[in-house]
Amino acid sequence: MKKPTMRTIANLMLGAGVVVAGIRVAARLFAHSLSAGLATHRDDTASTYEAALAQLSQLQAQDDETINPICCTQLLTHGRKMPQAIVLIHGITNCPQQFVELAPQFYHRGYNVLIPRMPHNGLADRTTSDLRNLTAQELRDASNAYVDIAHGLGERVTLLGLSAGGTMAAWVAQHRADVDEVVLIAPMLGIGSLGPKLTVLLMGLFLLMPNIPTQHLFPFQDGPTHSYLGYSSRALVEVMRLAASVYLTARKTKPAAQSVLLVTNAGDTAVNNHVTWQLVSRWKDKGLERLEVYEFGREHHLIHDVIDPEQREQQTTLIYPVLLDLMTHEKVAQHAV
């Protein structure tokens, strides 16, 4: 058998390089096509408390008899516009009940607290396939509406999102200059250990396939009783579409919000922290004024959902004091981290 010549090896390496470059270009073009139009938005900012309640009623009107009563959009209000308002956006498959113990802690500190229900989440039927109808446009419009309402609830607006809610929060950070602080907790900007390009290719694959409702294949075990028993592959693609839009916009445009708090979990395998770091690095390079970062170490063995008290392996006695300290700058009694 003849040994390959240096020219043959060089040609093979060149060919492999061309293939890799082609995949990268294709992934970038595909990402652009998937996220087209998601940067555009129309604001309708509530200027008064009464205007905020009127806009909120439109959200609450979507909470019909199919929705679990504890999963409806919620407002913890002091009955007037306050110095501080906060929006808490739950993760996909969960609902506002995820914040049942954290939200009151902000309320008792004088915040008006808005806890909206993400579109197609919170249904009483935990085996529903309705998540397959979720679109990135809905997530964008919902994010925008939450900010609009919050302006009538508080002079200073903070928006916090967990997981897919963190993806929505990232969109807000990129596009809404009228939010005083955006808090990203374990944002879903990449899938597991997959990088941006492989994530885009996986998105394309999922778009070609029928929707995969995971609750019928390997349902979640021992999760909160108000959350769904599985994901939708199509819904995952739509969340990643919104993430891709933020990621691509950040390549050329500074974030609109100028104060971002990022909270990550070093042991989180559900999302890609590396992609998150790439995004916030772009924001810093483009002129983000204030970035505060906190990472919980692997030694804590935290789960992805660090908020919902119903999670079986939850450690809210560790998490909540840290979050409250970071966000309110109070010294809250906490475990060492």
What is the pLDDT, as a whole number, of residue 208?
Answer: 83
CA dist 281 and 284 (Å) reads 5
CA dist 227 and 70 (Å) reads 11
CATH of domain 46-328: 3.40.50.1820
| Tens-digit pLDDT profile for residues 129-157 | 999 999 999 999 999 999 999 999 999 99
265 and 235 Cβ atoms separated by less than 8 Å: no
Three-point CA angle 234, 237, 240, nearest 5°: 155
Contacts of 136 (CB under 8 A, 6+ apart): 35, 38, 238, 239, 241, 242, 245
32 and 38 Cβ atoms separated by less than 8 Å: no
What is the pLDDT, as a whole number, of residue 98?
Answer: 99
What is the pLDDT, as a whole number, of residue 206?
Answer: 72
What is the pLDDT, as a whole number, of residue 318?
Answer: 97
Structure tokens at 292: 């505060």
Can you name the residues that pair with 264 across neighbouring β-strands? Answer: 295
What is the pLDDT, as a whole number, of residue 195?
Answer: 67
What is the pLDDT, as a whole number, of residue 207?
Answer: 80
CA dist 84 and 118 (Å) reads 22
178 and 77 Cβ atoms separated by less than 8 Å: no
Return the SS3 of 265: strand
What is the pLDDT, as a whole number, of residue 35?
Answer: 63
93 and 230 Cβ atoms separated by less than 8 Å: yes
Q: Which residues of the chain have pLDDT under 70?
A: 1-36, 192-197, 331-337
**Domain assignments of the chain as residue spans, ordered by start:** 46-328
Three-point CA angle 50, 120, 320, nearest 5°: 70
